[in-house]
Amino acid sequence: MSVVDEWTKKIAEAAVPEEIDLAPSIAHAFFSGGKERKQLFQREKKNVQGAFGIAEIALILPLILQALVYSATTLSTFISSTELNSFLTALNTTFSFRELAKRKQKVAALPDDPFLPLKNVLLIISGELHSMGLPEEESDLITFRILMKLLEDSAGASQFIQKIAKET
Amino acid sequence: MTSITGDGDSSEGSVPPWLWFWVVLYVISLPAQIRFYEPAILDLFFHKDWLVLVNVPELLPFLALFIGVLLIPFPWLRAFYLERQFQLAEPDRNSSALTEMETFLQQHAPGIHIKTNMLRTDQLAFVYPLGYRKTGIALFGSLFRLWRSDKQTAEAILLHEVAHCRHGDALIIGVGSFFEAVVRNFIVLYLLFCFLPLSWSFASQSIDALQSGIPFANKLQQIFTSILPGSFLQLLGLLGGLASVFVLPIIAIWGAEFNADRFAINQQKSSFDLLHALNKISLPRSIFSWIIFRLTHPPTKMRKWAAEPRFGKFLIVLLLFPVAYFAKLLALIARALSEYLLICSDFAEIFVQLADNIRTYFATIAPIWCAMAVFFLLWPFMCMYWEQYFGGSRGTQSFDTYATYLMSALIVGLSALLWIQMA
C-alpha cells in the first residue's frame, strides 16, 4: 500500500469513518489528478429509470484531501516542529470543550511561541473545509481529528505531507 | 410525515406490473400506430418540399417510444450504455461494506450481479438488465457512505432495487430511456422544425405580395391574427400529442416505483427507513427539472404519502395506471382542439366532433379496461410465480389485501362495461 493510500485510509478512519470503504478509490482518483480527480467534485445529476432517485449526499473525504493540498506548506511547518508534544496537549485541552466559541477562544489564547504553527494549521484547514461548504463546527472537529491522526505518527505523516505538497 | 410500524391494515400486496401490461398492448397496437404515422414518415423521406420538416416534432415522441420498445430484446445494449455512462466497474472486494451488501442482496435477489462507482454521489443505486433473466445492480459511493452511517436506510434503498429485479422491471424499464431527450429538446425542436420553416415560408410569401403591390399593413395584421395564434395552437397540439404518447408508460413506470417502495416497507415491516431514504432525494431546482424528474419517478411527496399502508392509499396506487387513460384523454383533447381551431371556427361543430371522439375513445379503451379488471383479479395468485421467475426466489403469497384488488377490478370492470353499453 502506498503512503497516500495508507494515510487517506487513516484520515478517513479518524475523520469520516462512514467513508472508509471509499478511501482507496478516492485516494486513487484524487492522486491520479486530471479527469479522475474532477469526477470527485462533480455535482452532475442524471435521471435513470430503475434508480431510487437522485441523491443529495456529498462525500467529505475528497474535500479533506483538497483542504490538505491547499494547506500543504503550513502542514509541513507544523509537522516538522520540535514542539509536537505541546501541540498534542494543546489540541486535547482545546477539543475537550464542546462549544465551538470556547474552542476558538482557547486557540486564540495560546501564545504564538511555540503554538503559531498549530494555530495556523487549525485556521487554514478548517477555513478551507468551511469554504468548501461544510458547517463551521464540523470543519473544526474534522480538522482536530486529522491533526490528532497526523501527530500519532509524525514521521509517516511527514512523508504523506511531502507527497501532498507535490499536488499543489 | 408519520411512519407506520407493524403490519398496518394493508401492508402486503404488490402493484401489478403495469409496464409489462402496457408493453404487450403497445406491441399489439403497433401495426395500427405505424399505419397512423406512415403518411408523415413517408412525407419526411420522399416529399421534396422542405416544409414537411414540420412533421418531425410530431413523429419524435412516437419514434422515442418505438425505439425504446425495440431495444427491450437487446438488454445488453442498455447494460453497455449504462456501465459506460456511469463508469461502473467490478467492485473492490476488500470493502467490508460491499461484502455485507452482497450478502443482503443475495438473500432477496439471488444471482444479482454488483458493479460499483465509488466516486459518484448523485445516484444511490439502480438496477439494469444484463440478460433476459439476469439483473445487474449499480451501487454508488453515496450508498456505501449511507451503509456505514445509517444501515437501515441503506437497506430500504437496496430493497427498493431488489423489488425492481423481482418485479421484472429491470428488463423493460428502459422503454422510457429516450423520453428525457425528447422532452428536454422539444421546444427547440418545435422552433427549429415548425416555427422557423413556417416563418420563412410566410416571409417569402410576404415579399412576393409586397412586390405585387399588397400593402405592408395587411401582412403585418396577418402576423397577429393568423400566424402567431396559429403557431401557439400548433405548439399546444404538439405538446398534447407528446403527453398523449408518453403518459401511459410514465404512469406505468411510476407504478413500478410505488411497488418497489411498498416492497421495502413490507420487508422492513415499517415505513420509517424508506421515508428516511426518500429524504435523501434531492429536490428539483426548477419547474423544468421537476418535469424531467417526473419522467422516471413519481413526486417524492407522493411516494411519502403512498408509503403509509392504508387501504384507501393502496387502492389509489393500484388504480393509478387505469386513471392514466383519463390523463391521456385530456392530452388528446388538447391536441384535437388545437387542430379543430386551426381549420374550423364553428364552436358547436367542434364540440360535436369532440364528443363523438370522446365516445370513440371510451369504446376503444373499454376492452383494455376489461383486461385490466381480469388482471386485478388474477394478480394476487400470479405474483408469487412472477417474482420467482424474475427474482429467482419465491415470495410469500398473501390474500390479506385481496379486497383491494377486488374493489379495483369492480371499479375498472364496471366502468368498461358501462362504456361498452354506451357504445
Residue B293: what pLDDT? 92
Q: Which of A36, A48, A138 to mutate to test the interface with B (most CBs of B within 10 A)?
A: A48
pLDDT(B38) > 50: yes
Count of alpha carbons within 13 Å of B352, Cβ hemisphere only? 6
**pLDDT of B91:** 92
How does pLDDT run across B271-319, given as a tens digit for each residue?
A: 999 999 999 888 888 899 899 999 999 999 999 999 987 888 999 999 9
Q: Distance between CA B144 and CA B161 in Å, rounded?
A: 15
Contact B121 A24 (CB under 8 A): no
Q: What is the pLDDT of residue B225?
A: 76
- Is the pLDDT at B105 greater than 70? The verdict is yes
Burial of residue B113 (CB within 10 Å: 0-12, 13-18, 19+) is middle
In a mutational test of the B interface, the residue from A28, A45, A49 whose CB has the highest number of chain B CBs within 10 Å is: A49
CA atoms of B283 and B306, how far apart (whole Å)? 18
Number of structural domains, chain A?
Answer: 1
Which residue range is the domain that position A113 belongs to? 3-167
Rounded mean pLDDT, B49-77: 89
Cα separation, B171 vs B402, in Å, equals 27
Q: Which is more confident, B196 or B66?
A: B66
Q: Given a cut of 80, is residue B392 above it in pLDDT?
A: no
Q: What is the DSSP-derived secondary structure letter of residue B148?
A: H
The pLDDT of B164-185, averaged and rounded, is 92
Q: Is the pLDDT of residue B344 over 60?
A: yes
Predicted TM-score (pTM) of the model is 0.89
Would you place residue A1 in the very low, low, confident or very high pLDDT band (cuts 50, 70, 90)? low
- pLDDT band at residue B228 under the 50/70/90 scheme: confident
B121/A55 CB distance under 8 A: yes
Identify the pLDDT of residue B11: 46
When mean pLDDT is compared across A75-79, A89-93, A126-130, B207-211, the lowest value belongs to B207-211
In this prediction, residue B229 carries a pLDDT of 84
User: Is B96 in Cβ contact with A55 (below 8 Å)?
Assistant: no
Q: Measured between CB atoms, does B114 come within 8 Å of chain A?
A: no
- Checking if the pLDDT of B2 tops 60, the result is no
- Does residue B214 register a pLDDT over 90? no
What distances in angstroms separate CA A142 from CA A13, A53, A59, A67, A136, one per listed residue? 11, 29, 13, 11, 10
Interface predicted TM-score of the whole assembly (ipTM), two decimals: 0.89
Which positions ≥6 away from B7 have C-beta within 8 Å? B269
pLDDT for B69 beyond 80: yes
Q: What is the mean pLDDT of chain A?
A: 89
**Of the candidates A54, A14, A125, A19, the residue with the CA atom closest to the CA atom of residue B121:** A54
Q: What is the pLDDT of residue B278?
A: 94
pLDDT tens sequence across B241-272: 999 999 999 999 999 999 999 999 999 999 99
Residue B127: CB atoms within 10 Å:
28
CA B415 to chain centroid, in Å, comes to 24
- Per the prediction, chain B carries an average pLDDT of 89
pLDDT at B358 over 70: yes
pLDDT at B64: 93
- Per-residue pLDDT tens for B370-381? 999 999 999 999
Contact B121 A47 (CB under 8 A): no
Query: pLDDT value at position A168?
Result: 58
Q: For residue range A95-145, what is the model confidence (pLDDT) as tens digits?
A: 887 888 888 888 888 888 888 998 999 999 999 999 999 999 999 999 999
Predicted pLDDT of residue B231: 84
Chain B positions touching A39 (Cβ under 8 A) are 87, 119-120
